[in-house]
């Protein structure tokens, strides 16, 4: 049986190794996963209560258009509900966007390395992918502009960027947005928005009124701690969202996810606390790098990628054997770096101690 030609050579998304698999492989009783940028502090206590209250409704289909959570998010953001599109994580919102607007002969422009699903979705739709290398870990917007032509349907700006944690500042983004053709959609993928502390990070939502081609994606999977429930959303002008909505699967977000998101949104003190603890964790890693003369990218996310002074795959395997799951930078174009999700203070210190132990072992062997 033949597959769609565009799928040939594509690999499915590779998540971090499951905890139970690592336990079995290395005979460990405890494993700490710092590979998938999940919130180590979980989710708001209000979420559990909302889920418990929803259990009796499991036999019923969810609200396919997610009206209740859409209304709450719209009020929180200061937009109209018609400007929002919900999905099974922001991943699905990006898929819906590509399904709606891309066809063979079109192209997208994106950075490299960045979130791989931009490329993946475009290839499935038969579109050309034009990749522009990062400059010092940041999107090279000038070079991306040069790649745009009359067939460019979507430009992706992952902001902050995964896997580097860097960001495009407001001045650069505004200048870029003003030069992109009006019939090319600019996606500002802001999955890590709630972790950002930089004063000059773009305030994108007010820009939607001025730029009908701007589309923003955000998620409840990261700071809100609802990764397993899969719910995210896109924000754009109502006319853009209306064009995308027919490409959305029916009932694509569950009742539990919708109500959990409503509860999570109401507890902004939890988000503030997570942001503060995350900043302390980022500082913990930066201090380690400075003390040892290791390169790192300043991060506005809940992860950091930094040099480990050795082949990344070797360090990855060492940490794995000690019960720490991280991401090797080898496949990301950074062969001596690892990407680490910020954990609790104790988890971070434990991993850093194992890095020191690895280097001590190498020096003495």
| Predicted confidence band of residue 14 (pLDDT cuts 50, 70, 90) | low
Number of neighbouring beta carbons within 10 Å of residue 351: 24
Predicted confidence at residue 18, as pLDDT, reads 84
Is 360 or 33 the better-scoring residue by pLDDT? 33
What number is the average pLDDT over the span 72-90? 98
| Predicted confidence band of residue 267 (pLDDT cuts 50, 70, 90) | very high
Mean pLDDT of all residues belonging to the chain: 95
Among 173, 187, 239, 178, which Cα is nearest to 215's? Answer: 187
Pick from 220, 235, 266: which residue ends a domain? 266
Report the distance separating Cα 79 and Cα 98, nearest Å.
Answer: 23
Q: How far is CA 328 from CA 11, 111, 122, 130, 333, in A?
A: 18, 19, 25, 25, 10
| Predicted confidence band of residue 178 (pLDDT cuts 50, 70, 90) | very high
> 319-331: per-residue pLDDT in tens?
999 999 999 999 9
Predicted confidence at residue 324, as pLDDT, reads 97
H/E stretch holding 154 reads strand 152-158
What number is the average pLDDT over the span 245-272? 98
Phi-psi region of 126 (alpha: psi -120 to 50; beta: other; left: phi over 0): left
Predicted confidence at residue 1, as pLDDT, reads 57
192 and 251 within one domain: yes
Answer yes or no: are the C-beta atoms of 177 and 207 closer than 8 Å: yes
329 and 274 within one domain: yes
Report the distance separating Cα 113 and Cα 184, nearest Å.
Answer: 22
56 and 191 within one domain: yes
What number is the average pLDDT over the span 275-304? 98
Specify the DSSP class assigned to residue 364. H
**Structural domain boundaries enclosing 31:** 5-42+269-364
Point out the least confidently predicted range of 6-15, 122-131, 263-272, 340-349.
6-15
287 and 179 within one domain: no
What number is the average pLDDT over the span 26-37? 93
Report the distance separating Cα 227 and Cα 362, nearest Å.
Answer: 37
83 and 25 within one domain: no
Burial label, 335 (beta-carbon count in 10 A; 0-12, 13-18, 19+): middle
351 and 227 within one domain: no
Answer yes or no: are the C-beta atoms of 305 and 282 closer than 8 Å: no
What number is the average pLDDT over the span 179-184? 98
298 and 221 within one domain: no
Among 208, 261, 255, 277, which Cα is nearest to 236's? Answer: 208
52 and 38 within one domain: no
Pick from 245, 266, 287: which residue ends a domain? 266
Predicted confidence at residue 360, as pLDDT, reads 85
Coil, helix or strand for 217? Answer: strand
> 117-149: per-residue pLDDT in tens?
999 999 999 999 999 999 999 999 999 999 999
CATH code for the domain of 29? 3.90.1150.10
CATH code for the domain of 96? 3.40.640.10
Predicted confidence at residue 250, as pLDDT, reads 95
Report the distance separating Cα 264 and Cα 24, nearest Å.
Answer: 34
Number of neighbouring beta carbons within 10 Å of residue 202: 24
| Predicted confidence band of residue 25 (pLDDT cuts 50, 70, 90) | confident
pTM exceeds 0.75 for this model: yes
Pick from 207, 235, 266: which residue ends a domain? 266
Among 200, 173, 110, 160, which Cα is nearest to 282's? Answer: 160
pLDDT of 53 above 70: yes
181 and 51 within one domain: yes
Predicted confidence at residue 189, as pLDDT, reads 98
Predicted confidence at residue 16, as pLDDT, reads 67
| Predicted confidence band of residue 2 (pLDDT cuts 50, 70, 90) | low
What number is the average pLDDT over the span 27-50? 96
230 and 96 within one domain: yes
What number is the average pLDDT over the span 241-245? 98
Point out the least confidently predicted range of 2-16, 125-139, 164-178, 180-194.
2-16
Predicted confidence at residue 22, as pLDDT, reads 87
H/E stretch holding 305 reads strand 303-307
Report the distance separating Cα 152 and Cα 150, nearest Å.
Answer: 6
Answer yes or no: are the C-beta atoms of 326 and 339 closer than 8 Å: yes
Report the distance separating Cα 161 and Cα 33, nearest Å.
Answer: 21
Specify the DSSP class assigned to residue 63. -
Number of domains in the chain: 2
> 61-70: per-residue pLDDT in tens?
999 999 999 9
113 preceded by a cis bond (ω within 30 of 0): yes
308 and 193 within one domain: no
Q: Radius of gyration (Cα) for the chain, nearest Å?
A: 21
206 and 159 within one domain: yes
pLDDT of 230 above 90: yes
């Amino acid at each position: 049986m033949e597959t769609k030609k565009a799928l040939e050579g594509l690999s499915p998304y590779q998540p971090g190794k499951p905890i139970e698999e690592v336990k079995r492989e290395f005979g460990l009783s405890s494993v700490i996963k710092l590979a998938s940028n999940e919130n180590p502090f979980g989710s708001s206590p209000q979420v559990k209560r909302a889920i418990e209250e929803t259990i009796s409704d499991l036999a019923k289909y969810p609200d396919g258009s997610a009206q209740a959570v859409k209304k709450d998010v719209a009020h929180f953001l200061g937009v109209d509900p018609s400007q929002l599109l919900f999905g099974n994580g922001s991943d699905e919102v990006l898929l819906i966007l590509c399904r709606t607007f891309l066809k063979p002969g079109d192209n997208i422009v994106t950075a490299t390395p960045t979130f791989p699903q931009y490329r993946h979705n475009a290839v499935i739709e038969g579109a050309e992918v034009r990749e522009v290398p990062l400059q010092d870990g940041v999107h090279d917007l000038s070079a991306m502009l040069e790649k745009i032509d009359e067939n460019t349907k979507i430009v992706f700006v992952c902001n902050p960027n995964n896997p580097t944690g860097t960001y495009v500042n407001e001045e650069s983004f505004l200048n870029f947005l003003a030069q992109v053709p009006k019939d090319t959609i600019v996606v500002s993928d802001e999955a890590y928005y709630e972790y950002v502390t930089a004063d000059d990070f773009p305030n994108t939502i007010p820009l939607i009124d001025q730029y009908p081609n701007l589309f923003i994606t955000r998620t409840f999977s990261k700071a809100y701690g609802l990764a397993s429930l899969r719910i995210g959303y896109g924000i754009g002008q109502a006319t853009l969202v209306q064009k995308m909505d027919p490409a959305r699967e029916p009932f694509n977000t569950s009742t539990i996810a919708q109500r959990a998101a409503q509860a999570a949104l109401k507890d902004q003190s939890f988000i503030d606390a997570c942001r503060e603890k995350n900043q302390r964790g980022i500082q913990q890693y930066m201090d380690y790098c400075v003390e040892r003369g290791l390169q790192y990218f300043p991060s506005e996310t809940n992860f950091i990628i930094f040099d480990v002074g050795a082949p990344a795959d070797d360090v990855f395997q060492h940490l794995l054997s000690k019960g720490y799951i991280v991401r090797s930078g080898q496949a990301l174009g950074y062969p001596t770096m690892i990407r680490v999700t910020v954990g609790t203070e104790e988890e971070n210190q434990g991993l850093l101690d194992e890095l020191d132990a690895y280097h001590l072992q190498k020096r003495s062997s």
